[in-house]
Chain A
Amino acid sequence: MNLEYYKDLVLVLTQKEIKVRYKNTFLGYLWSITHPLFYTIISLLAFKVIMRIQIENYTLFLIAGLFPWQWVTNSIGAAPFMFISNASLIKKTAFPREVVILADVLNNMIHFLLSVPVIVVFVFYYGQQPSWVWLYGIPLLCVIQFFLICGLSMTLASLNLFFRDLERINNLLITALFYGTPIFYTIDLIDKKKYATLIFIVNNFNPFTPLVVSWQNLFMKGSVDMMLVLKALGPALLIFAIGYYIYRGLRWRFAEVL
């Protein structure tokens, strides 16, 4: 495979997604940040006002987790349809199919990066300051998240061609992931004696936990905990490899089932 061509293909497809998304420039951008902001407000009402959760700087805490999470929701939510919605092209041309997924995940990553200024505004509003650490922290975590989401998306997109009810299970998966990741709570709020297994699962079986906690550390304290980053990187690479393997194995059958 010619590398220049591959690069161009990913670039043009990503550009296309972004162009379509921001066709109505400013309104498009506003819409894109409305979603995580809306979730922030809802969570504030539910957990702060009603449940009186005890977390310092709770609004900022929510924002630090929900903005990167938007990328997860967008990409994983669309993943089962990635190949189906390109059915006619896949049946006719031999372009490398995985670029559809790369382009989508990249597009959502850029979209997240464009929302970082909003996080900055909130950081200032709560009397803190963005840290220089962000300069390498954000790219580092983005890369990890990119691999993790690509791996999951390749798996979901490929399998959904063969098991079409996956798209329904997928919505449940996203909801479970949201509640199973410490986004609106911290793990130390869970009763250690009563729910030891639950804590163990959230800590060790959810690849998003170390990642989201890293985002929170980065945006709230300007710190990068390398141990935690490694704990996020390992599973991300593993899941990427598994996803690619599944995709590689099934891709010859795509045109037969579409």
Chain B
Amino acid sequence: MSEPVIVFDKVSKYYPMYHHITGGIKQFIFHLPSAIKSFRSTRFQALQELSFSIQPGERLGIIGRNGSGKSTTLGLLARVLKPSSGRITLRGRVSPFLELGMGFHAELTGRENILLNGIILGMTRKEVRKRMDAIIEFAEIGEFIEQPIRMYSSGMLARLGFSVVAHLNPEILLIDEILAVGDAVFQKKCQDKMLSFRQKNVTIVFVSHAMSDVRTLCNRVILLDRGKPLITGAPDAVIKAYEGLPA
């Protein structure tokens, strides 16, 4: 057995309730003592002592009701959030899968946006340029690649976005919902690409409410319930437990 690429060791995450401050400077200053007090006392625990480890090439699914802490877990993995306690160990380049059109600029062409997106996702200019043709070819949006992307349909945007991520050579891929845009042909292409990720030993953490996707993609699933990990195991068993959760 090789070294795990991701280790969560009793990770907890509290969100401070900032609404006392986001009310503005004025409110903060005029209610200083009470603001500070409530600032300390009101915090929300979004994740409770979550522990798991993932081997290279594993595809972990995270499921659970709305607000159970799935996106929080991905945020911790992407290093945009810091754990309140516990330890996270990551080995390898983490690439988040961006939502439709995120990190794109409407006035720039498809080609310009590929560069922009690739850079934001962690590639250098040289790396993007090397992959530019492959990205364009994979996205299959024809001569529209030289047009500003405000002219694109949402399916075309999705193609472009997926194509950039697909060529990142990610080591750890984070996916929060999405996948289901684009026509049947492109969906098939995406699936093939995901399969090739599997062969290339890319580690995937997949959050979804679509149980059929979770079943096909993941080899292991964690069920979260109000920030607590309920069970971890084979997809079928965990999905069954999820569906049996009391309302």
A contacts, CB < 8 Å to B: 2, 4-5, 8-9, 11-13, 16, 19-20, 23, 88-95, 162-166, 169, 252-257
- Contact at A93–B25, with CB atoms within 8 Å? no
**What 10 pairs across the A-B complex have the smallest Cβ distances?**
A165-B24, A255-B80, A94-B79, A163-B25, A8-B125, A12-B119, A92-B96, A252-B82, A8-B124, A162-B21
Please, which residue of chain B has its CB at the minimum distance from the CB of A21? Answer: B107
CB distance from A230 to the nearest CB of B (A): 34
Report if B144 contacts A (CB, 8 A).
no
Instruction: List A contacts of B120 (CB < 8 A).
Output: 9, 89, 93, 95
What is the CB-to-nearest-CB distance from A197 to chain B, in angstroms, rounded to a whole number?
26
Interface of B is mostly: loop
Question: Chain B contacts of A5 at CB under 8 A?
Answer: 122-124
The answer on a CB contact under 8 Å between A256 and B18 is: yes
Q: CB-CB contacts of B83-98 with A at 8 A, as 1s and 0s?
A: 0000000000010101
Q: When the two chains form their complex, are residues A164 and B22 in contact, meaning their CB atoms are under 8 A apart?
A: yes
Is A16 touching B116 in the complex (CB atoms < 8 A)?
yes
| Contact A11/B96 with A93-B78, A93-B80, A93-B120 known, Cβ cut-off 8 Å | no
Residues of B within 8 A of A16 (CB): 105, 108, 112, 116
20 extra interface residue pairs, beta carbon distance < 8 Å, beyond A92-B98, A93-B103: A4-B124, A5-B122, A8-B125, A12-B115, A12-B116, A16-B108, A88-B102, A90-B80, A92-B78, A92-B80, A92-B96, A93-B78, A93-B98, A93-B120, A93-B121, A94-B79, A163-B24, A164-B24, A165-B24, A254-B80
**Docked-complex contact A255 and B75, CB < 8 angstroms:** yes
Chain A residues with Cβ under 8 A from B75's Cβ? 91-92, 255
State A32–B125 Cα separation when bound (angstroms): 29
Contacts of A95 in B (CB 8 A): 120, 122
* CA of A10 to CA of B21, assembled, Å: 31
Q: Which residues of B contact A89 (CB under 8 A)?
A: 98, 102-103, 120
Q: Which residue of A lies closest to B148 (CB)?
A: A23
CB-defined A-B contacts under 8 Å, sample of 21 = A2-B124, A8-B125, A11-B125, A12-B119, A12-B125, A19-B107, A19-B112, A89-B98, A89-B102, A92-B99, A92-B102, A93-B98, A93-B121, A162-B18, A163-B25, A252-B81, A252-B82, A255-B75, A256-B15, A256-B16, A257-B18
Q: Given known contacts A8-B124, A163-B25, A255-B75, is B102 in contact with A20 (CB within 8 Å)? A: no
Interface positions of B from 1 to 55, Cβ below 8 Å from A: 15-16, 18, 21-26, 28
Across-interface contacts of B119 in A (CB, < 8 A):
8-9, 12-13
